[in-house]
Amino acid sequence: MIFFLFFIFGLAIGSFLNVVIARLDTNQSIVGDRSRCPHCDKILRWYELAPLISFIVQKGRCRNCQKSISCHYPVVEISTGSLFLLIFNQFSISNFSIINLFSLIYWLFIASILIIIFVYDFKYYIIPDKIIWPAILISSGFNALNLFLVPDPKFQIFHLIWHIIFSQIGAIFFLILIIISKGEWMGLGDVKLAVLMGLILGWPKILAALFFSFMIGSFVSVILMIFKRKNIKDRIPFGPFLILGTFIALFLGDQVLNWYLKFIF
């Protein structure tokens, strides 16, 4: 029951993330203004805003104008609920502690931020600074706080230096690509996202994230070109692939790295 309730909680947060994505670059208040139909501008009632259920009951259409509602709304809600459930599953309920609760809140926040960036970059080809910079600052603070939980102060300093240098290998790599291509291959938004990825994952999971990001990105790009949805000169946002790689590394990074080391040695 508690897992089911946590999934419902994730659906509700996903509904809120849809509001953030829709109003991020507008003059609308995220929490103050009422939700409206994007087609007829009708104010939506509470039962028309029920996460996932309202989309199913209304058959993906506005009750007033009958125009189709984008499927990205339920997809974001289901994705958020599923990710929240996976993150919640990482924490032992029987070993509850303040530290575990604090970590849980942090990872739920990070998952929400990454979902916003995924959808926003997919739709508008940009990673918004008003989202990425607060996430970088909070992740930096979370990492710094974790260092103080290590009893040996010498290890704290060593770990901090190691983390800063090696976790940012992705950001350095992307920055080099930008310099070489003069900004045609990558954008600065990808560099900022790589910084956040390094803070989230650390070393060596960042390598697994980059590997999966490029593999998925290459596969999707080839498929799009085969079906003539894109050509080699078209822009394809790389942020969504970086975020997919981040989630894979976050949940499966240790298993993948262990398998790779066993395969090599």
Compute the average pLDDT of residues 101-130: 93
Q: Tokens 């990872």 map to which residue?
A: 107
Compute the average pLDDT of residues 36-40: 77
pLDDT for res 249: 92
Chain-wide mean pLDDT for the chain?
84
- DSSP 8-class letter at 97: -
3-state secondary structure of 68: strand
Is pLDDT above 60 for 113? Answer: yes
pLDDT for res 47: 74
Tens of pLDDT, residues 167-210:
788 888 888 888 887 777 778 889 999 999 999 988 888 888 99
Round to whole Å and give the CA distance between 82 and 110: 14
DSSP notation for 194-228 = HHHHHHHH-TTHHHHHHHHHHHHHHHHHHHHHHTT
Q: What angle is formed at CA 111 by the lines to CA 172 and CA 118, rounded to 5 degrees?
A: 65
Tens of pLDDT, residues 48-106:
778 888 888 888 888 888 888 888 899 999 999 999 999 988 765 556 677 778 888 99
Is pLDDT above 90 for 166? Answer: no
Closest of 172, 169, 170 to residue 180, by C-alpha: 172
Is pLDDT above 90 for 148? Answer: no
Tens of pLDDT, residues 202-260:
888 888 899 999 999 999 988 988 887 877 677 788 999 999 999 999 988 777 777 76
The dihedral built from the CA positions of residue 170, 176, 180 and 186, taken in this order, carries a sign that is positive
Q: How far is CA 59 from CA 12, 75, 213, in A?
A: 19, 14, 34
For residue 225, what are its two tokens? Answer: 């070109």
DSSP notation for 144-167 = HHHHTTSS-HHHHHHHHHHHHHHH
Residue 163: which pLDDT band, with cuts at 50, 70 and 90?
low
Q: Tokens 């947060």 map to which residue?
A: 13
